[in-house]
A = this chain, B = another copy of it.
Amino acid sequence: MSIDGLKEIKQPNERCRVVIETIANDVRDLQLFDGVQDATILKLMRAGYDQSFPPYVTLINEGTPANFLHIVVEGMVELFAGANKREATMAVVRPVSTFILAASVRDAPYLMSARTLQRSRVLLIPSADLRAAIANDNRFAMNVLNELAGCYRSMVRHAKNLKLRNTRERVAAYLLRQSRLLGNAPGFILPVEKRLLASYMGMTPENLSRALKSLAEDGCKIDGQRIIITDRAKFEALAALSPWLDGPDPEASQAGVSLPLPETDL
């Protein structure tokens, strides 16, 4: 099931009204729209479609033209890429965030596919309208620029991580980074299935499983989805986070190319 049929929706204005009334505030809070005049946002909303999808529906196939900028309003969306009969998770996006901004801006084919992981509500802004808004509203252009620069930096970090760390180091760094994002929480719950986590970090589920287990003796215990840092000093020494690889930096918190924040209710 693809969303190409969307273009045939007959009553965009009705849909638009729904959008504006129910989610405009969430969307407006996006950094992307910070300080942007209402006229620009309204025009984008009016051009957009508000759609809900069941879990595990493909929204985008890589290689197709980027007709829409997507904004996740509810649910959870996985970005992934395939080749050689393999598949790799590139990011998991949670509300409220945009995804695949770059393809829309450049009017180029999507480089990633997207599928819902849960029932999800997605706002679809035609790329042409997006580009028009960028051209007409300087403030909006600046925001898009900033967002894209953040996405880029996030992807640089991802690539560095892949090239400079082995499996165990990537896992340790990921866990400690998550804890730090939660204010040095001593424990948290993994935000996504482990197979997704493994794919995101470029390893097999089996390998991730063993790596997680092996971290017990270095200060981080795993119990199902639950992560407990038992010896922070030891674990931090092992993970050896670096600011230029792991943040903290503004862009790290964006959904650019990352996984969702975990929950901390242990």
Please list the residues of chain A having a beta carbon within 8 angstroms of any beta carbon in chain B: 62-63, 81-84, 86-88, 90, 101-103, 105-106, 108-112, 134-135, 138, 141-142, 144-146, 148-153, 155-160, 162-165, 169, 199, 202, 240, 242-245, 249-251, 257
Output the least CB separation between A144 and chain B (Å).
6
Most buried by B among A63, A82, A134, A152: A152
Neighbouring B residues of A151 by C-beta, 8 Å: 152
Output the least CB separation between A169 and chain B (Å).
7
Tell me if A's interface is mostly helix, strand, loop or mixed.
helix
Distance, CA A86 to CA B169, complexed state (A) = 13
Q: Are B165 and A106 in touch, CB under 8 angstroms?
A: no
Distance, CA A165 to CA B81, complexed state (A) = 12
Contact of A105 (CB < 8 Å), options: B105, B146, B157: B146
With contact pairs A62-B244, A159-B162, A169-B84 given, residues A148 and B152 touching in the complex (Cβ less than 8 Å): yes
> Could you give 12 example pairs across A and B, Cβ below 8 Å?
A81-B244, A84-B165, A84-B240, A90-B159, A90-B160, A108-B249, A111-B244, A134-B142, A144-B145, A148-B148, A155-B156, A163-B202
